[in-house]
Structure 1
Amino acid sequence: MRTSLKPKYDMRFLFSCLFIMSFFSVFSQEETKPKIEPIVKIDSLYREDQFYFSITYNLLTQIPEGLKQNKFSAGLSAGFLRDMPINKKRTVAIATGLGLSYQNYFQNLTISKMPDGGLAYAVSDYNDISSNRYRQYLVDLPIEFRWRNSTYESYRFWRIYGGFKISYVFSNKSVLDNGEEKYVVKNNPNINKVQYGVYLAAGYNTWNVYLNYGLNPLFKDVITTSGQKIDVRTLNAGLIFYIL
């Protein structure tokens, strides 16, 4: 008696199909894991603490008759400013800091030594001198009022900074060469050790124009040999750079 094998093979085929279908079903149900982006923390309480560097052309104002400048009288300064915002958007602030300055002046206001050790001041003709210059080194204490349209997302912005600066002259030197003698005067006692003035800086991003005007005289009560009072003040004009 023969037995048919067809139902047996049909059942095997059916189970095989079910197994394959369940295998693909498991893979199709797997979910793709979402990509995790790093969280970038933005500091909305930023400050514009900055290092600064300036280069200027130095002028003398309120000069006596006949006083002139020649060559390029250069000035350099550098320092650090601490920013203290005073409004919610942090676009208005007050800043204080500390810096150093070097100022050089080429002019015809000569300072020479007299036999008794005193100092003689004169406005000389350039034909009578070979070279004449005065330079000083200062410690600066600036305090300024700041406006800028900065945001915590951008380091490029417009600014207008105005302030008041007190400076202490810790070293000064004048050198006069009249072709016959050379006079070197160090730490002239007639120089105002404490100098103060107002300044303004304005511009965009790193580049800014800079003006500083001295409010008190460079010299104390000094009169030239011709009887003119020396009441000169300093004016520094140039560029100032801010670096975060």
Structure 2
Amino acid sequence: MRFLFSCLFLVSFFNAFSQEDVKAEIKPIVKIDSLYREDQFYFSVTYNMFTDIPQKFKQNKFSLGLSGGFLRDMPINKTRTVSIAAGLGLSYQNYYQNFGISKDGNGAVVYNVVDAGEISSNRYRQYSVELPIEFRWRNSTYESTKFWRIYGGVKLSYIFSSTSILDDGENTYRINNNDAINKFQYGPYISAGYNTWNVYLYYGLSPLFKDGVTTLTGEKVTMKTLNAGLIFYIL
């Protein structure tokens, strides 16, 4: 009996010795910032059009527009679903159409709607600095970066470079930084969508050309820009 108790004691001792202390896993505490802002980089791709066009005006090919910049978000309610944002960006706009800008025999710039069959190519492009200011609504939370949004506002632009190129098959007229271009542009815009993908629409309120510009037939030129496409927001 004494031998049996000794064996049981040794077995219990080795069994207890072989067990290791298992420490509870300590998970790091992740602090969630409930005072978030939707500061974002934006990039847009648009199809460019004109409104208030002269008679017989037509566009041809694909007129591409690109813009990009940064927006600073400033929430104005407790849940941070409503905010105001302001930003700064750059824009490139390209237009293919039959509104010809050329020079007469005296070197003066003249404007006219030309027959598309009489020209080889005609395009106008511009580069501008843009300042968007917008009112924002979204159903975002501090736990998710995917949400529905509707942003609307006003965009102010300054055209710092412009070029028109008209090739009629015999002569090529290239005019850089035309003084008749209205360099300060402005207009409302709206964007709406989910997560990264959003539709975008901008309507220019200021004419592309200054007052006093007329075609050879005496028609006043009051063309304004209209851009429609997609805008992407990147956190």
Shift of 1:25: 10
Equivalent in the alignment of 1:201: 191
17 and 188 in structure 1: CA distance in 2 versus 1, 3 angstrom threshold: same
Matched, 1:192 2:182: yes
**2: CA distance, partners of 1:29 / 1:69:** 83
**Structure 2 matches for 1:143-162, cutoff 5 A?**
143-162=133-152
Q: Kindly name which structure, 1 or 2, has the bigger radius of gyration based on alpha carbons.
A: 1
**Structure 2 matches for 1:67-86, cutoff 5 A?**
67-86=57-76
**Structure 2 matches for 1:97-108, cutoff 5 A?**
97-108=87-98
* SS of aligned partner of 2:117: helix
Matched, 1:47 2:40: no
Summarize deviations over 1:29-82 as a string: whole Å, max 9, x none. 997532211111111111111111110000000111111111111100011111
**Structure 2 matches for 1:5-44, cutoff 5 A?**
16=6, 20=10, 23=13, 32-44=22-34
* SS of aligned partner of 1:53: strand
Q: What residue ranges of structure 1 are gaps of 5+ in the alignment? A: 1-8
CA-atom RMSD in angstroms: 2.1
Equivalent in the alignment of 1:62: 52
* SS of aligned partner of 1:229: coil
**Quick one: which amino acid aligns to residue 59 of structure 2?**
Q
Matched, 1:178 2:162: no
**Structure 2 matches for 1:80-95, cutoff 5 A?**
80-95=70-85
**2: CA distance, partners of 1:203 / 1:141:** 21
TM-score (norm 2): 0.92
**1: CA distance, partners of 2:190 / 2:14:** 75
26 and 127 in structure 1: CA distance in 2 versus 1, 3 angstrom threshold: closer
* SS of aligned partner of 1:167: strand
Counterpart among 113, 119, 127 of residue 137 in structure 1: 127
Q: Which moved more, 1:158-167 or 1:108-117?
A: 108-117
**Quick one: which amino acid aligns to residue 99 of structure 1?**
G
After TM superposition, the runs of 4+ consecutive aligned structure 1 residues lying more than 3 A away are: 16-33
Shift of 1:28: 11
Summarize deviations over 1:192-213 as a string: whole Å, max 9, x none. 0110011000000111000001
Say how many residue pairs are matched.
234
**2: CA distance, partners of 1:30 / 1:236:** 70
Shift of 1:153: 1.1
**2: CA distance, partners of 1:134 / 1:30:** 79
**2: CA distance, partners of 1:129 / 1:86:** 54
**2: CA distance, partners of 1:29 / 1:223:** 96
**1: CA distance, partners of 2:229 / 2:8:** 86
Shift of 1:128: 1.6
**1: CA distance, partners of 2:11 / 2:99:** 104
**2: CA distance, partners of 1:86 / 1:67:** 45
Equivalent in the alignment of 2:209: 219
Shift of 1:127: 1.7
**2: CA distance, partners of 1:110 / 1:63:** 13
**Quick one: which amino acid aligns to residue 57 of structure 1?**
Y
**2: CA distance, partners of 1:171 / 1:133:** 14
* SS of aligned partner of 2:47: strand
**1: CA distance, partners of 2:16 / 2:228:** 77
Equivalent in the alignment of 2:222: 231
Equivalent in the alignment of 2:113: 123
Matched, 1:210 2:200: yes
Shift of 1:155: 1.1
**What is the percentage of aligned positions where both structures have the same residue?**
69
